[in-house]
Amino acid sequence: MPDPLTRYRSADEDSIRWRDFPLRPGDIVISTRSKSGTTWMQMICALLVLRTPDLPAPLTTLSPWLDWLVEPADQVYARLAAQRHRRFIKTHTPLDGVPADPRVHYLVVARHPLDMAVSLHHQSGNLDRARLAELTGHPGPPDPDRRRPSVEEALVRWIDADPDPREELDSLPGVLWHLRDAWARRDQPNVHLIHYDDLRADLAGQMRRLAEMLDLEPPGPDLVEAATFDRMRSRADRLAPDPAGVLKDRQAFFRTGRSGQGSALLSAADRARYHARAAALAPPDLLAWLHQGR
């Protein structure tokens, strides 16, 4: 029989790891695109599950990135098997690449794609490419002295690029591929879509909503405060997703988290071209929710 799961691979990820991973009732799978609120949602889940702002271990230990090739699969499986609290697991794999289990909750965090692309550009400049190549066994950057494009140049190129979405999930087609699949599942009782801008606008309310969806106790003010962007940046040594030392600056991982920065960098013509491309890649109701009137 053909495999029911789509396989997604990149230089440092392989979703095939999900096929052999034994899920438990109550597991929480956090499925996002890069720079769309992954670490934020991991922290929120850690606070709601563990009920303390003083986490007992670094966030990457508590919530491993299951499909990251830097850490051997057996080690990730063993670490998760040893956890006795309710597990919350990170992935950048779309839901069609993850086993569907009615006993498991799936959280998909969405961010305005232009804001995501700006953050992704800055994140790219914060990666130690030589270290990442060493860890994954791939060649290092071919021309480390090549001038990086400005954020404005990179954003325009990102809008115009047209790769296979399954091969470049952080492209515009890839982002909308991921979200389109989740949007089609949104009526399933264990699939929950959360918007990044809603977290920014009402963190306490969104944390209460999540607690109710996950059948957890609502958070007190101390837990909400621990999930604020400024508080997380101040604890970057424990919260940044950098167990293997691939970030040049952990605090820079939590750069600003602002919304609207992508649109502000574009000309009116470039914004119109972005909206035309997005309209060709996703249904109007998804885009209306995703763009939040912007």
Q: How far is CA 168 from CA 1, 48, 68, 133, 241, in A?
A: 27, 33, 16, 18, 21
Residue 226 in 3-state DSSP? Answer: helix
On whether the CB atoms of residues 252 and 138 are closer than 8 A, the answer is no
The question of whether 195 is a catalytic residue gets the answer no
* 171 vs 154: CA distance, rounded Å: 12
> Could you tell me whether strands 28-32 and 105-110 are parallel, antiparallel, or unpaired per DSSP bridges?
parallel
The strand order across the sheet containing 105-110 reads 88-91, 28-32, 105-110, 191-195
Helices 284-291 and 268-281, axial angle in degrees (round to 10) = 140
Choosing from 85, 92, 112, 178, the catalytic residue is 92
Query: Residues near 60 by Cβ (< 8 Å), separated by ≥ 6?
Result: 241, 242, 243
- Which residue has 């997005």 as its token pair? 278
Beta strands in 137-275 (DSSP E): 191-195
- Radius of gyration over every alpha carbon of the chain, rounded to an integer in angstroms: 18
Closest alpha carbon to 16 in 68, 70, 83, 79: 68
Residues known to be catalytic? 92
